[in-house]
Structure 1
């Protein structure tokens, strides 16, 4: 029997793509938003009045990517942008009622996805994988 593929970066990229496209399709059907948009909505829910710069740091994205993401979310009326009270060039983001509803509508799909991964990996494997991915997401080489 041959050893499993150990090209970890390749495998992470391939797994991330497959998981993202599957969950994007499901979340779009359930709530009208992608997983990237859900990430932004959850971050704003968790940190009300977050700035776009802080959102970029939270999501691990460039500010230009977050600007486009926020533009789509505000156009869809899922977020609002208001001038920052102290920083004249900054804006603060707030979740709208429609944004909160999108999060509620997506939650069953998020739960289903996690249940499927738990079934695939087992409870211990799920927890270990989540821990390893958290460490990799915060790793500074």
Structure 2
């Protein structure tokens, strides 16, 4: 095996790309959705009546990208949009019955994928990697200022 590449960002990008392609293929086969759509569905599941603005922050996307994503999710009957009770320009999102069923259909494949990653990395390295990636994803000093 070759020496590990210490260009961490480059390695993260390559690994993320390969993992996303594999996970997308598997999630499409199991539940008919991509990992991006699945991430949005999990966020809506975790925070019923979430706003699109909040969803954009959670997913780390621009609001325009989330608007397009939500439009596709609504068209696929995975989420419903409702007027926000206090903000006349905002909407809230909830999972539809079909969206909840889609999450249930995807969960076994997500569990299998994680089990394969655990087996590949070993339990200690899996936990260390998950912890490190969580820190990187949530560290405020890495937040762009635009």
Per the TM superposition, whether the score is higher than 0.5 is yes
For 2:65, the equivalent position in structure 1 comes to 65
Aligned length in residues: 141
Query: 1:132 and 1:81, CA in 2 relative to 1: closer, same or farther beyond 3 A?
Result: same
1:53-103 Cα shifts (integer Å, max 9, x gaps): 000011111101100110000000000011101000000001000000000
What secondary structure is seen at the aligned counterpart in 2 of 1:89? coil
Residue matched to 1:52: 52
Alpha-carbon distance between aligned partners in 1 of 2:2 and 2:79, rounded to the nearest angstrom: 50
CA deviations 1:22-50 (Å, max 9, x no partner) are: 00000001100000100000000000000
- Structure 1 runs of 4+ aligned residues shifted over 3 Å read none
3-state DSSP class of the match of 1:135? helix
- Tell whether 2:128 aligns with 1:128: yes
In the other structure, the counterpart of 2:100 is 100
Unaligned stretches of 5+ in structure 2? none
Deviations 1:7-26 (A, max 9, x none): 11111000000000000000
Q: Give the superposition deviation at 1:3.
A: 3.6
Residue by residue over 1:108-137, the C-alpha shift from the partner in whole angstroms, topping out at 9 and shown as x without a partner, is 110000000000111111110000000000
Q: Distance in 1 between matches of 2:25 and 2:95?
A: 23
- Residue in 2 aligned with 1:38? 38
In the TM superposition, residue 5 of structure 1 has moved relative to its aligned partner by: 1.2
For 2:122, what is the secondary structure of its paired residue? Answer: helix
Aligned equivalent of 2:138 = 138
Alignment of 1:9-20 (within 5 A): 9-20=9-20
